[in-house]
């Protein structure tokens, strides 16, 4: 099971997810805006074209699984899940509130459809690798895939490279990792805080196939995943170049939007930008 | 009522001895035979933590992670999400010493039935010194919500404990010792997670022990008997959930409590018993173990003596304690 939207529909969906993210974060009064916005295209492609799942049966045994490693961007996942029908969209507005299933950082036990609990950075890849190991070697099931979404800042964590070495050794070919390469972390540019480059070379040297894409082009996301699925002798990592805060011009490229939410005025302005963008998607504006 | 079956040579100088970890190795293999969902992971310490028995029996269900403890437990979390029951084994100094946050977040908060195995815990690691003598693991693991903490007293009990955590469906920590340890229990002795056991009855003082210290308390109790102090010995193989009832019943009966562990008393068994007694039954308490100190290099027995953990030293401490603290008389 799964949905297969076309490119135009996926772009619309990504824009809707961005609007949800803005409204959720404004209502919550705290949260991480930049990464949640810039991952919208990837999440749109994953939930509305790539992954097999059944929102009415989140533990469906033939599902593909998605581990979110940079848990602070979970608003984008909640929005995608609500759009996909895992729960009603109204619930999005409970984000970060007492008693909500939508915790500030994702908790698997709270919300069916999540595959892991994350927030402390650097541990998602190894959990995904454990799952992929199980599929490949223990259950010998080849039609399911394991996706993990990581931030670029979290690549500072040693745990990531332990997992990279592990997945490389065991040639976990059903493991497909995304890196949200938006070049920011809390204290500034990733290359100032702790340089990551040569990022492609690093992953290749750990035994991974590396694909670099424009993370805002849903067609590229789908193509990259198709390529990754076709590679059966090593894990694949998709380095998705993104613009932090994508879709809202006054947030774009500004690392200060990493860990703050918009106030009502900013949210209003952001939604205006996004609705304008939606109109441009309709008219097929190639400049987007 | 004392219905615990002690080994017939429990008090003998010729008591059979075996490393506690050996029982874990056998138990893991048996668990593997009973349930194919059991998988084992090890961080380059396969034989010393006794995972090799499982590995030889089930090579396809053994996963080598290399010297990468953070990855060890997080891969285990992912395997559990895929429906497996993973045993992630390492030295306690590093597991949970190095990967505590990953255990808390990806196993305990995430409610995965992954098992964390801390081998070579305590000062009995000996010559390797303080860096490898994990003394804080009981405290570290006990404080995590949703975590079961088991510290077997001998190898037979370790085998039973391993089988018990394999099927309890919960995040669990098992603490193992490297050194040869006297076997006081028998195959017929009871073991249940969450139960403490009265191994020997008395009425002057309760000696509450865990892990390798329990046998030392038994010997101390038999020596104390010779000088007219009747000590009750309570073995606490499960630190969490703590068997409040058994400990409180004994404390109420004897009016004095001594705890003993090969770990920091702060936060360890001593800490757990202090919390229990001070809230529910304030009773004079003495805690034996490491008191805000690191270990150091030496032979295991030298170290037990250096840190005041031999049976003879316990006898002296208990004697002084009993003489200095009035017994709390209560109806029972």
Any A CB within 8 A of B146 CB: no
Residue B9 maps to a domain: no
What is the domain range of residue A72? Answer: 7-282
Nearest CA among B21, B263, B292, B289 for reference residue B138: B263
Residue B330 maps to a domain: no
Note the pLDDT tens digit of each residue in B291-310. 999 999 999 999 999 999 99
Domain with B103 in it: what CATH number? 3.40.50.970
Residues B170 and B207 in one domain: no
Q: Helices (DSSP H) in chain A: which residue ranges?
A: 7-28, 33-38, 40-45, 74-84, 124-133, 158-169, 190-193, 199-205, 218-230, 264-282
Note the pLDDT tens digit of each residue in B264-291. 999 999 999 999 999 999 999 999 999 9
**B78 and A159: CB-CB below 8 Å?**
no
Domain with B226 in it: what CATH number? 3.40.50.920
Residues B57 and B105 in one domain: yes
Total count of domains within chain B: 2
Average pLDDT over residues B29-52: 96
> How close B107 gets to chain A, by Cα (Å)?
9
So what's the pLDDT on residue A177? Answer: 98
Confidence of residue A288 (pLDDT cuts 50, 70, 90): low
Residues B143 and B272 in one domain: no
> Which residues, in sequence order, are CB contacts of B107 under 8 Å at separation 6+?
B73, B76, B77, B80, B114, B116, B171
> How close B60 gets to chain A, by Cα (Å)?
7
Note the pLDDT tens digit of each residue in B178-220. 999 999 999 999 999 999 999 999 999 999 999 999 999 999 9
> How close A141 gets to chain B, by Cα (Å)?
12
Confidence of residue A284 (pLDDT cuts 50, 70, 90): low
So what's the pLDDT on residue B221? Answer: 98
> How close B70 gets to chain A, by Cα (Å)?
6
Residues B30 and B145 in one domain: yes
Select the residue from B71, B105, B106, B114 to test the A interface by mutation, using most A Cβ atoms within 10 A.
B71
Note the pLDDT tens digit of each residue in A118-135. 999 999 999 999 999 999
Residue B192 maps to a domain: no
**At residue B237, does pLDDT exceed 50?**
yes
Residue B95 maps to a domain: yes
**B111 and A163: CB-CB below 8 Å?**
no
Residue B5 maps to a domain: no
State the residue for tokens 């995590």.
B144
B69 in catalytic set:
yes
Rounded CA-CA distance A161/A179 in Å is 13
So what's the pLDDT on residue A286? Answer: 56
Which residues of A fall within a CB distance of 8 Å from B105?
117-120, 123
CA A237 to chain centre: 13
Residues B140 and B88 in one domain: yes
Domain with A132 in it: what CATH number? 3.40.50.970
So what's the pLDDT on residue B326? Answer: 77
Rounded CA-CA distance B172/A65 in Å is 25
Nearest CA among A190, A254, A215, A219 for reference residue A8: A219
**A139 and B61: CB-CB below 8 Å?**
no
**B79 and A117: CB-CB below 8 Å?**
no
What is the domain range of residue B74? Answer: 17-182
Average pLDDT over residues B22-42: 98
So what's the pLDDT on residue B332? Answer: 45
pTM of the model: 0.96
Note the pLDDT tens digit of each residue in A49-63. 999 999 999 999 999
Total count of domains within chain A: 1
**At residue B1, does pLDDT exceed 60?**
no
Single residue among B155, B182, B209 that ends a domain in this structure: B182
Chain A residues with CB-CB distance to B under 8 A?
65, 67, 107-109, 115-120, 122-123, 126-135, 137-139, 158-159, 162-163, 165-166, 169
Kindly name the residue from B13, B33, B36, B69 that is annotated as catalytic.
B69
Residues B164 and B38 in one domain: yes
């Amino acid at each position: 099971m799964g949905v297969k939207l076309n490119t135009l529909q996926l772009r619309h969906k990504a824009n809707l997810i961005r609007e949800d993210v803005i409204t959720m974060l404004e209502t919550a009064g705290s949260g991480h805006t930049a990464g949640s916005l810039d991952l919208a295209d990837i999440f749109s492609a994953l939930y509305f074209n790539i992954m097999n799942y059944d929102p009415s049966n989140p533990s469906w045994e033939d599902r593909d699984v998605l581990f979110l490693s940079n848990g602070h961007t979970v608003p984008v996942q909640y929005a995608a899940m609500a759009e996909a029908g895992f729960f009603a969209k109204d619930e999005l507005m409970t984000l970060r509130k007492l008693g909500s299933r939508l915790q500030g950082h994702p908790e698997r036990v709270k919300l069916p459809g999540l595959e892991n609990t994350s927030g402390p950075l650097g541990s998602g890849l190894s959990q995904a690798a454990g799952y992929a190991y199980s599929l490949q070697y223990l259950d010998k099931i080849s039609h399911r895939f394991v996706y993990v979404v990581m931030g670029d800042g979290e690549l500072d964590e040693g745990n990531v490279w332990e997992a990279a070495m592990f997945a490389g050794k065991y040639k976990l070919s059903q493991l497909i990792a995304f890196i949200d390469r938006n070049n920011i972390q809390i204290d500034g540019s990733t290359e100032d805080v702790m340089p990551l480059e040569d990022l492609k070379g690093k992953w290749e040297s750990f035994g991974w196939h590396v694909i670099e894409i424009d993370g805002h082009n849903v067609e590229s996301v789908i193509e990259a995943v198709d390529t990754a699925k076709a590679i059966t002798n090593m894990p694949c990592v998709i380095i998705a170049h993104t613009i932090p805060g994508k879709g809202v011009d006054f947030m774009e490229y500004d690392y200060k939007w990493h860990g703050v939410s918009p106030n009502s005025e900013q949210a209003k302005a952001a939604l205006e930008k996004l609705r304008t963008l939606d109109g441009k998607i309709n008219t097929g504006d190639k400049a987007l | 009522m004392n219905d615990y079956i002690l080994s017939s040579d429990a008090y003998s100088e010729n008591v059979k001895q075996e490393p506690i970890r050996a029982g874990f190795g056998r138990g893991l293999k048996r668990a593997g035979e009973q349930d194919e969902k059991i998988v084992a992971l090890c961080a380059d310490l396969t034989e010393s933590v006794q995972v090799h028995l499982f590995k030889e029996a089930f090579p396809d269900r053994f996963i080598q992670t290399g010297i990468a403890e953070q990855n060890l437990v997080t891969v285990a979390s992912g395997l559990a999400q895929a429906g497996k029951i993973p045993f992630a084994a390492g030295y306690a100094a590093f597991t949970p010493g190095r990967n505590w946050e990953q255990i808390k977040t990806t196993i305990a908060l995430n409610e995965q039935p992954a098992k964390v195995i801390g081998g070579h815990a305590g000062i009995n690691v000996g010559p390797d010194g303080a860096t490898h003598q994990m003394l804080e693991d009981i405290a570290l693991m006990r404080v995590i919500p949703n975590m079961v903490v088991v510290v077997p007293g001998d190898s037979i009990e370790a085998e039973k404990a391993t089988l018990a955590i394999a099927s309890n469906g919960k995040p669990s920590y098992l603490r193992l010792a490297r050194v040869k340890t006297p076997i006081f229990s028998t195959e017929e002795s009871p073991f249940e997670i969450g139960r403490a056991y009265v191994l020997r009855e008395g009425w002057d003082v309760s000696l509450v022990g865990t892990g390798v210290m329990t046998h030392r308390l038994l010997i101390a109790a038999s020596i104390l008997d010779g000088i007219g102090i009747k000590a009750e010995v309570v073995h606490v193989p499960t630190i969490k959930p703590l068997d409040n009832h058994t400990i409180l019943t004994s404390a109420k009966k004897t009016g004095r409590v001594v705890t003993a562990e090969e770990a920091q008393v702060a936060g360890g068994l001593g800490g757990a018993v202090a919390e229990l007694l001070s809230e529910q039954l304030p009773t004079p308490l003495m805690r034996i173990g490491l008191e805000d100190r690191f270990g150091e290099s030496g032979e295991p027995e030298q170290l037990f003596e250096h840190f005041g953990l031999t049976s003879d030293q316990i006898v002296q401490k208990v004697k002084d304690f009993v003489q200095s603290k009035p017994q709390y008389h209560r109806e029972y």
